[in-house]
Amino acid sequence: MSAAHRPRKRFGQNFLSDQRFIDQIISVINPQPSDALVEIGPGQGALTAPLLAAAGKLIAIELDRDLIEPLKAKCELIGQLQLHQADALQFDFSSLGKTPLRIVGNLPYNISTPLLLQLFSYANQIQDMHFMLQDEVGKRLAASPGNKDYGRLSIMTQYHCQVTRLFTVPPQAFYPAPKVTSCFVRLVPHAHIEQPVGDLAAFSALLAKAFGQRRKTLRNSLKGWIDETALTALGIDPGARPEQLSVNDFVALSHAVRR
């Protein structure tokens, strides 16, 4: 671990340092020379170096400018590293000119949810995504209807992607050690969405309305948006709570509300 760089709390820096988990991550990603690999938040290069060694080339997006030169120096003899000093939340992934993208990252906890929601807008340009996340977030991504972790993020994610929680990672695998367990997840955008919602902003607003007070029944939480007769016509019980509805139920709801 480099003594020259002090991990910055404001950037949410918890660098992966356990070689066993690094090896496991590279194994499940299985990078190939033909891949258009993009790493978000390479940090000190724990994943960058082995990804480069396997694929020969890599695009990386790093916000902390103090890490740029050390990353270049670490990787210059390993492969072709295209490094962007930028905020991934503001980055235009379509500007990379390569598809389909394979996106990888040990994501800072404080940006993981907004970054995922941003990346979903590029879903048709992405082959897969592999991310280290707070385990609580990973559970929310993969949760099923009726589960306490199921909510807006579950539905938005599963609408766009197939979700797999691959394995958990303990705090001591990082430097500095976070206070919570992490998990490594795979997200694979659906090749075809049978019932597209049409307006993602409206879909998001519907989910926010439904889950705003999640203990309320749909007849109450969606009052003024859709009436009980219309809910029943969709095969949805007006007395149900939002966490009982499937992704497809919410897609159907979004079409009914839009009309």
**pLDDT given at position 97:** 87
* For residues 45-54, average pLDDT: 96
Superfamily of chain region 200-258: rRNA adenine dimethylase, C-terminal domain (1.10.8.100)
Residue 219 three-state SS = helix
**pLDDT given at position 2:** 42
What is the percentage of the chain residues whose pLDDT exceeds 90? 86
Band of pLDDT at residue 1, cut at 50, 70 and 90:
very low
List CB contacts of 259: < 8 A, sequence separation 6 or more: none
In Å, what is the CA distance from 7 to each residue of 39, 61, 64, 132, 202? 19, 17, 10, 17, 39
What is the percentage of the chain residues whose pLDDT exceeds 70? 94
**pLDDT given at position 215:** 87
CA dist., res. 162 & res. 120, Å (int):
12
pLDDT at 20 over 60: yes
Alpha helices, H only, the chain = 19-29, 48-55, 68-75, 112-120, 135-142, 152-160, 200-211, 218-221, 228-233, 247-258
Q: Which residues of 44-66 are buried (b: 16+ CB within 10 A; e: fewer)?
A: bbbbbbbbbebbbbbbbbbbbee
DSSP string over 148-214: TT-SHHHHHHHHHEEEEEEEEE-GGGEESPPSS-EEEEEEEE-S--SS--S-HHHHHHHHHHHHTTT
**pLDDT given at position 127:** 98
pLDDT digits (tens, 9 = 90+) for 94-146: 999 888 999 999 998 889 999 999 999 999 999 999 999 999 999 999 999 99
For 242, list phi and psi in degrees, rounded to 5.
-60, -35
pLDDT at 258 over 70: no
Q: Which two tokens stand for residue 119?
A: 């990346």
pLDDT digits (tens, 9 = 90+) for 185-217: 999 999 998 889 988 999 999 999 999 988 899
Domain map of the chain by residue range?
A: 9-189, 200-258
Indicate the pairing of strand 161-169 with strand 126-134.
unpaired
On the 0-12 / 13-18 / 19+ scale of CB atoms within 10 A, 150 is buried
**pLDDT given at position 110:** 86
Superfamily of chain region 9-189: Vaccinia Virus protein VP39 (3.40.50.150)
- HSE-CB at 53 with a 13 A cutoff on CA atoms is 10
